[in-house]
Amino acid sequence: MSLDTLERYIQNYIASQDTEVVEFAWHGGEPTLAGLDFFKQAVAFQRQYAGDKIIKNTLQTNGSKLDKDWCQFFRENNFLVGLSIDGPEWLQAKYRTKQGKSVFAENLQALKLLQKMQVEHNVLACVTQEYCRHAKSIYEFFRKHKVKHIQFSPLVESAPTAEEQSRGQHFSGNLIYSTAGVEEQSPTAWSVDGKAYGQFLFDIFQLWVKHDVGKVFISNFEQALTQYIGNPSPNCIHAPECGSSYAVESNGDVYFCDHVAYPESKLGNINSDSLKAVSQRAQQFEFNKSSRLSTRCKQCRYLKMCNGGCPKHRYLTLSGEYENRLCEGYSYFFRNIEKYLHAMTQLLANGYPASHIMQALDGPLILTSSNKR
């Protein structure tokens, strides 16, 4: 991104926000390839246009470029850094490679450096079909390396149609634009299966709830608890509607979402359009979550916690409706953790830490002032 476009983006984005806190999320590709000077300039522009607003930054990286200078910059400017690392080397080496060689050593070195330099960070762990069989190994790996904040992200993609391939897409847009048949829309072999993903999440949850409540924070579980007690979803995947997370490309083009950054979802360009105008266009966008819910979704008792998941993960079924690839997994996961969520809710409502959850489930928990927060 040129510095002129960067400046316009930052000025435009801050001006479009009506909130006291404005958060910038830097993703790629690999955003650190833009160089440290690029981000120093970005921070300078943020200060120039912030006014009375508080600016926050998050950055997602594979860690390959991180060194002490990067980490010092992150710490001094209060960046939250998301590190992409999926688990032990024997598992992730198949997928995370550079010139055919594993990049695990780079990933792990970056994690240790972030910890040593006291940079606020979390881990984004991708989940493929193969990973679902190794929940315990993955969780024990993160415990061993003292990871405190984790998000598990399921991978669901399809091969592009001939038309999509001709314009350079590596994956299909799925239900949104494709008119292909069911067979052509089938997910790739490495895409996670719904039931397996639900079991994976519950396997992780069982390990976490016994040992690490209040010590390790897993966004998938926090989201479930948040919505169980009636609050809005903290992420777009399980929000009632889409349209809260636009993607801005290096030339300033704005897309509806980074899951669907295809020509049909282009909403404008920050060099010529205000983001408020872009937002108005997005409201007419066809990528509507609630209007395309299947009959199964509408009748599901966990609809308020799931809201149909991400539409990018929906596929046309023989019934003529679009079903989320992960539906069975979400249902399985929510059903199996419901008693835990209920216990947590009761503990928190009475001023006791959620770490008491196993005592509450195993038998009567004697609540005294000594074990209150």
By annotation, the residues acting in catalysis are 258
DSSP 254-314: EES-TT--SGGGEEEETTTS-HHHHHHHHTT-S--SGGG--HHHHT-TTHHHHTT--GGGE
Amino acid at site 332: Y
DSSP state of 57: E
Buried/exposed code over 49-86 (b: 16+ C-beta within 10 A; e: otherwise): beeebebebbbbbbbebbeeebbeebeebebbbbbbbb
CA–CA dist 19, 370 (Å, integer): 39
Sequence-distant (6+) residues with CB within 8 A of 106 are: 62, 63, 64
> What is the gyration radius of the CA atoms in the chain, in angstroms?
22
CA–CA dist 18, 9 (Å, integer): 16
